[in-house]
């Protein structure tokens, strides 16, 4: 009796020690992971092309590869596929503004912990990570998810946060909003028809930040929804299933 009690205690101590942290989500290219350790909860994102093992709390994890398909799009305005010299300044302004917004730490809270909703409901017309070919020319992989819906459909903030960019008339993204959800996590809303928010404004989840459009490099009305964690772009839909992600203890 006494021996088995001691065994039980030893087992208990081993299991407590073994639960150093928990990883929720697939350790797969383009996915967002939630890590719970004894003291806090934080996020890590696996890059689209990341192959080197992921280090979580000093443990190395192999990354599952994702098969990225090819998406061929015809009918894109040729100047938006092969921009001429005259567009250089406009493209530079866009890159500078977007980079600056993505580097901002405007939100001191961890608003992302409350979870995310879809900014708009519609048909997925472009998947994250796909290699894109515009008018037969190979371009950068798609950095977000495209959701097609009627022009003027209200676009909602996917979670609480601070507006770090409300920018107009950009060459590629058209009218764009970027929201800072804290701890390096931001969501991007591009090709908007109109914008209802201003830089520095606090928004709640579901707040109408603008309307769906086709500004910038777009062949039809859709929302380009992007998600970035400290510079790493990941599949935005992996924000939607926070509570359903499968967790494993290490
Ligand atoms: Zn897009």
| Same-domain status, 154 and 218 | yes
Point out the domain boundary residue: 18, 39, 67.
67
Question: Would residue 172 be called left, alpha or beta, if left means φ above 0 and alpha means ψ between -120 and 50 degrees?
Answer: alpha
Point out the domain boundary residue: 15, 32, 67.
67
| Same-domain status, 162 and 205 | yes
Give me ligand 1 centre to Cα 217, in Å.
9
Q: Across residues 184-205, what is the average pLDDT?
A: 98
In this predicted structure, the answer to whether residue 131 has a pLDDT above a threshold of 60 is yes
Domain holding 84, by residue range, is 70-239
Confidence band of 6 (pLDDT split at 50, 70, 90): low
Give me ligand 1 centre to Cα 223, in Å.
7
Give me ligand 1 centre to Cα 191, in Å.
9
Give me ligand 1 centre to Cα 147, in Å.
8
Residue 153 contacts residue 118 (beta carbons within 8 Å): no
pLDDT, mean over the chain: 92
Give me ligand 1 centre to Cα 225, in Å.
7
- pTM (predicted TM-score): 0.90
Give me the percent of the chain exceeding a pLDDT of 90: 78
Give tens-digit pLDDT for 139-174.
889 999 999 999 999 999 999 999 999 999 999 999
DSSP 104-172: -----S-GGGG----SS-SEEEE-TT-EEEETTEE-PPP-EEEEE--TT-EEE-SSSEEEEEEEEEETT
Give me ligand 1 centre to Cα 172, in Å.
10
Residue 86, pLDDT score: 87
In a domain, 250, yes or no: no
Element (H, E) at 16: helix 2-18
Residue 211, pLDDT score: 98
Give me ligand 1 centre to Cα 128, in Å.
8
Structure tokens at 10: 């030893």
In this predicted structure, the answer to whether residue 9 has a pLDDT above a threshold of 60 is no
Q: Across residues 22-38, what is the average pLDDT?
A: 96
Give me ligand 1 centre to Cα 36, in Å.
32
Q: How many Cβ atoms sit within 10 Å of the Cβ of residue 70?
A: 10
């Amino acid at each position: 009796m006494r021996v088995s009690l001691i065994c039980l205690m030893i087992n208990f101590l081993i299991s407590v020690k073994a639960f150093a942290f928990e990883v929720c989500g697939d350790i797969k290219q383009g996915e967002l992971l939630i890590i719970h350790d004894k003291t806090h909860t934080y996020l890590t994102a696996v890059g689209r092309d990341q192959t080197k093992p992921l280090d979580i709390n000093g443990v190395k994890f192999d990354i599952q590869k994702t098969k990225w398909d090819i998406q061929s799009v015809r009918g894109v305005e040729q100047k938006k596929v092969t921009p001429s010299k005259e567009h250089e300044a406009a493209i530079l302004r866009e890159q500078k503004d977007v980079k600056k917004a993505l580097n901002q730490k405007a939100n001191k809270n961890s608003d992302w912990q409350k979870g995310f909703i879809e900014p708009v409901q519609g048909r997925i017309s472009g998947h994250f990570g796909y290699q894109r070919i515009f008018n037969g020319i190979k371009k950068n992989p798609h950095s977000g998810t495209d959701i097609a819906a009627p022009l003027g459909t209200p676009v909602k903030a996917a979670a609480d946060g601070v507006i770090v960019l409300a920018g107009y008339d950009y060459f590629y993204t058209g009218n764009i909003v970027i929201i800072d959800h804290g701890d390096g996590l931001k969501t991007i809303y591009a090709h908007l028809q109109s914008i209802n928010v201003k830089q520095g404004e606090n928004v709640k989840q579901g707040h109408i930040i603008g309307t769906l459009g086709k500004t910038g490099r777009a062949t039809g009305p859709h929302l380009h929804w992007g998600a970035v964690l400290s510079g790493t772009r990941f599949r935005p839909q992996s924000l939607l299933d926070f509570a359903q992600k499968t967790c494993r203890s290490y």
